[in-house]
Amino acid sequence: MKLVPGFIDAHVHIAGAGGEGGPASRTPEMQLSHMIEAGVTSVVGCLGTDGFTRSFESVLMKVKALRAEGVSAWMYAGAYQVPTPTLTGDVGRDITLIEEVIGVGEIALSDHRSSHPTLAELTKLTAHARVGGMLGGKAGIINIHMGDAKNPFKLLYEVADSSELSLKQFFPTHCNRNSYIFEDAKKYGKLSYIDLTASSYPYFPDIEIKPSAAVKALLEAGVPIGHITMTSDAFGSLPHFDEQGKLVKLEMGSLKSLHSEWTDMINNEGLTIPVALKTITENPAKILKLHTKGQIKSGFDADLLLLDNNLNLRSVMANGKWMMHESKLLVKGTYE
DSSP characters over 74-108: EEEE--SSSS---SSSSHHHHHHH-TTEEEEEEEE
Would you place residue 244 in the very low, low, confident or very high pLDDT band (cuts 50, 70, 90)? confident
What pLDDT score does 128 carry? 97
Q: Mean per-residue pLDDT for 255-279?
A: 97
Q: Compute the distance between CA of residue 237 and CA of residue 88 in angstroms, rounded to an integer.
A: 28
Q: Is it the case that residue 240 has pLDDT exceeding 90?
A: no
What pLDDT score does 245 carry? 77
Q: Is it the case that residue 243 has pLDDT exceeding 90?
A: no
CB atoms < 10 A from the CB of 167, how many? 16
What pLDDT score does 206 carry? 81
Instruction: Output 113 or 205, whichever has higher pLDDT.
Output: 113
Provide the sign of the torsion angle of the four alpha carbons 220, 259, 274, 32, taken in this order. Answer: positive
Q: Mean per-residue pLDDT for 196-219?
A: 90
Q: Is it the case that residue 242 has pLDDT exceeding 80?
A: no
- The answer to whether 138 touches 132, Cβ cutoff 8 Å, is yes
Q: Is it the case that residue 252 has pLDDT exceeding 90?
A: no
pLDDT of 60-100, one tens digit each?
999 999 999 999 999 999 999 999 999 999 999 999 999 99
What pLDDT score does 133 carry? 97
Q: Which CATH number fits domain 2-329: 3.20.20.140, 3.40.50.300, 3.80.10.10, 3.30.470.10?
A: 3.20.20.140
The domain segmentation of the chain, as residue ranges, is 2-329
Question: Rg of the Cα trace of the chain?
Answer: 18
Q: Mean per-residue pLDDT for 229-254?
A: 85
Average pLDDT over the chain reads 94
Which conformational region is residue 124 in: left (phi greater than 0), alpha (psi within -120 to 50 degrees), or beta? alpha
What pLDDT score does 12 carry? 97
Q: Is it the case that residue 113 has pLDDT exceeding 90?
A: no
pLDDT of 127-139, one tens digit each?
999 999 999 999 9
Q: Is it the case that residue 160 has pLDDT exceeding 90?
A: yes
pLDDT of 20-39, one tens digit each?
888 988 999 999 999 999 99
233 catalytic? Reply is: yes
> Of 94, 233, 264, 301, which residue is the catalytic one?
233
Would you place residue 287 in the very low, low, confident or very high pLDDT band (cuts 50, 70, 90)? very high
Q: Is it the case that residue 14 has pLDDT exceeding 90?
A: yes
Q: Mean per-residue pLDDT for 294-305?
A: 97
DSSP characters over 127-177: HHHHHHHHHHTS--EEEEEE-SSSSTTHHHHHHHHHSS--GGGEEEE-TTS
